[in-house]
Structure 1
Amino acid sequence: MNTMSLLPLPKVPMAPVTSPNIPKGSEWGYQIKWDGVRTLARLDGNGGVELFSKRVEPRNTTFPEIVDLLSPLRVGPCILDGEIVYFDGTRPNFQRSRLGVQKRSGNDDLLFVMFDMLNDNGEDLRSFPFRDRYSRLAAKFPEKSPRLFVTDLFDDGQSLWEWLIEREWEGLISKRLDSPYSEGKGHKDWFKKRKEVRIVADVVGVKLRDGLVSSLVLQYENKYIGHVSGLDNASKKLLLQFMHDHPGDCPFPSLSQGMKKSDVVWLAVHFPCRVTALEFTDTGLLRQPKLLGFGAGGGEV
């Protein structure tokens, strides 16, 4: 019988819920939030490796270097939960790790950081408390190699958060130590707190409502990232004149149905604005963006 078939996968991995707070108490443990590509790895114990995305889609051809990294392991059949990460020497760099989504030659700079284990030698661990799953994972991989290791578990969330923010890392995950492995976000056991996103985006369009300026359509790294409001009346008046003076074309190859139905005036002349947000969503959009000001620095709105 195929060993892999004895190791059932979740429909979706367990996902942390965004929260502005770090829960406190002895029932909580804390881990670094590695900024990379969420990945499940199923090993048959004899060199067979299957990688899956957070949508549980096959990813062996996307990350052949991670398959090569895991194939020599002889730790028995198991399912590992972790993150494929590009470490730039200072911090994990998500934009670089996303290159793995595109077809390219192997990159031996990618790491696989493990934080949970769903199955160990055919034993389904998902109903076990997180502390037990983590202990078994740490015992299975006691050594930290440069490209393959189990991330640490801390008992002081606030100190870890301060360490991460000082070094401009992404954030932390708080995990209830007695929690089972629950699929998706239908739980109150894992929470993520991210540092605030601050970027300089390009304004490429003006969104109208009832003929009046409503919000700014944003582009970042040549991609649509959403729109931001928060304009005062003086700014709206200036933008109304600016869009009439500089009408242009949509810079994006495709738009969502919602954007297609929106009343947008595209601009021939783009200009920068400073924006903050809670995070980038899985689809690449800013979550709860706020306008800080125009230009790369200086005057606030």
Structure 2
Amino acid sequence: MLATAGSVPPGPEWALELKWDGMRALAYVEGLDPDNVVLVSRAGRRVSRSFPDVARALAAVAGERRVVLDGEIVVLSAPSAGAPARPSFNRLQLRMGVQKPSPQLVETASATFVAFDLLCCDDEPLLDLPYLERRARLERLGLDGHRGLVVSPVLEGLDAQTALEVAGSHGMEGIVAKRRDAPYRPGRSHAWVKTPLWRTTEAVIGGWAEGRGRHAGAVGAVLLGLPTPAGCLRYIGHVGTGLRDTERDQLHVQLADAETADSPFDGPVPEQRAARWTQPTLVAEARFRSWSDDGVLRHSSWRGLRLDRQPDDLPGGLPAADRGDAAPPGHRWHNSRG
């Protein structure tokens, strides 16, 4: 069952859950033998071998029961002082596609299965039951409290804005609203509504890469950075999505006029070979979903130049992903359709 994108729907008929940054999976669990646990990705691939720790945890808790669970496989970030663990897609990628992960990899990037629905229990199909009843049956399985297993919490008693703020403060992707009376139906459904969180950041343009195809001769993407105490820029990613054709042409003129032979960044950037450097005088605003573990924007898009801002106005240092805050100073949270 897949959610439809939209704003958080109001009303008591909706239950609000957190949206996890992981890999969607169905778990078929039969008895105490981990070899009998089958994990299937959304694309229909068996991924059990990549996540033996999840298979062991599910088998240990299931006991003699036969269950089918819907959920998300996540890998948490390494916790540190002032930075609680949060779902880390970077660390999850260390496990994805690895058919026989080493014990060391399993230990250093241990996976967790976040269950949010129960589809079958002891050969009794539950798809036609309303969400509220399936949820109650799921909670009675006793998954919480076992290492590697979590039941996705329901944010009871919170309005939409507060729920989104809670999701943001915990480094989650957003909110999924589910109708309490809805059965489970495979495919895209308006009975589940996802509302991703979008953040915005202001950053300095330190370079650009030329476009290709119909954007040849214009700006394909700008390279963004945050000021450092040493007077350089710390690279935080490139942005090309969302640029209108007129903006690409205008930026090309502005950036080419300020072109320089030296990079303003404090180290190499992924686009090094194709990059053209510019004097770091222009401030841009970008929107994005989250920070990667190494402080780079994920799912970013262009919002526009901030002609009212100077590079010296921007806070330096590391983004929230590195400091453990909900968002760095000058960075804002948004919820958006889609």
TM-score (norm 1): 0.71
CA RMSD, aligned part only?
3.9
Deviation at 1:225, TM superposition (A): 7.8
Q: Once structures 1 and 2 are overlaid, which stretch shifts more, 98-107 or 56-65? A: 98-107
Equivalent in the alignment of 2:241: 227
CA 1:162–1:119 in 2, change beyond 3 Å: closer, same or farther?
same
Q: For residues 219 and 61 of structure 1, what CA distance do their matches in structure 2 show?
A: 39
The yes-or-no answer on 1:275 pairing with 2:262 is no
* 1:178 paired to 2:181: yes
- Post-superposition Cα deviations, 1:171-193, rounded to whole Å, max 9, x if no partner, equal 111111111222232x2111112
Supply the distance in 1 between the matched residues of 2:96 and 2:302 (Cα, whole angstroms).
Answer: 26
- Tell me, yes or no, if the aligned pair for 1:218 and 1:227 is still in contact at 8 Å: no
Tell me the equivalent position of 1:206. Answer: 210
SS in 2 for 1:136: helix
Match of 2:53 in 1: 65
- Determine the structure 1 residue equivalent to 2:114: 113
Q: Distance in 2 between matches of 1:28 and 1:46?
A: 35
1:17 maps onto 2:7 in alignment: no
What is the alpha-carbon distance in structure 1 between the residues aligned to residue 75 and residue 59 of structure 2?
Answer: 20
Count of residues in Structure 1 that have an aligned counterpart in Structure 2: 265
Name the counterpart of 1:161.
164
Encode CA deviations 1:179-228: one digit per residue, 9 max, x unaligned.
Answer: 1222232x211111222145779866222647652642779999998634
1:238 equivalent to 2:240? Answer: no
Higher-RCO chain (CA-CA 8 Å, sequence separation at least 6):
2
**Stretches of structure 2 lacking an aligned partner (at least 5 in a row):** 226-234, 263-269, 292-296, 315-338
Partner of 2:72, secondary structure, is: strand
* Structure 1: 5+ residue stretches without partners: 1-13, 253-265
* Contact 1:278/1:288, CA 8 A, preserved across alignment: no
Task: Classify 1:148/1:211 alpha carbon distance in 2 versus 1 (closer, same or farther; 3 Å).
Answer: closer
Q: Sequence identity, in percent?
A: 24
In structure 2, the partner of 1:189 is: 191
1:79 maps onto 2:68 in alignment: yes
SS in 2 for 1:69: helix
Q: 1:213 to 1:26 in 2, by over 3 A?
A: same
The more displaced of 269-278 and 220-229 is: 220-229
Distance 1:133 1:97 in 2: 28
Return the offset for 1:168: 3.8
Q: Whole-Å Cα distance in 2 between the matches of residues 291 and 75 of structure 1?
A: 58
- Per-residue deviation at 1:291? 4.3
Deviation at 1:60, TM superposition (A): 1.3
Match of 1:43 among 29, 36, 40: 29
Question: 1:239: Cα distance to partner?
Answer: 4.2
Evaluate the alpha carbon distance shift between residue 123 and residue 217 of structure 1 in structure 2; reply closer, same or farther with a 3 A threshold.
farther
Partner-residue secondary structure (3-state), 1:117: strand
Residue 151 of structure 1 is matched in structure 2 by 152
Distance 1:223 1:40 in 2: 33
Quick one: which amino acid aligns to residue 35 of structure 1? Answer: D
3-state SS in 1 of match to 2:154: coil
Change (3 A) 1:115 1:226: farther
User: What's the counterpart of residue 97 of structure 1?
Assistant: 92
Structure 1 pair 62/25, CA: closer, same or farther in 2 (3 Å)? same
> Could you say if the C-alpha distance between residues 173 and 45 of structure 1 is closer, same or farther in structure 2, counting changes exceeding 3 Å?
same
Distance 1:118 1:297, change over 3 A: farther
Q: CA deviation at 1:79?
A: 0.8
Deviations 1:47-79 (A, max 9, x none): 210011111210012112212222223151111
Contact 1:31 1:153 in 2 (8 A): yes
Divergent runs of 4+, >4 A = 197-204, 217-226, 239-243, 270-274, 291-294, 296-300
The 1:167–1:63 alpha-carbon spacing in structure 2 relative to 1, beyond 3 Å, is closer
* Cα distance between partner residues in 2 of 1:210 and 1:71: 53
Q: Is the 8 A contact 1:43 1:78 kept in 2?
A: yes
Aligned to 1:34: 20
With over 3 angstroms needed to count, the CA separation of the structure-2 counterparts of 1:150 and 1:18, relative to structure 1, is: same
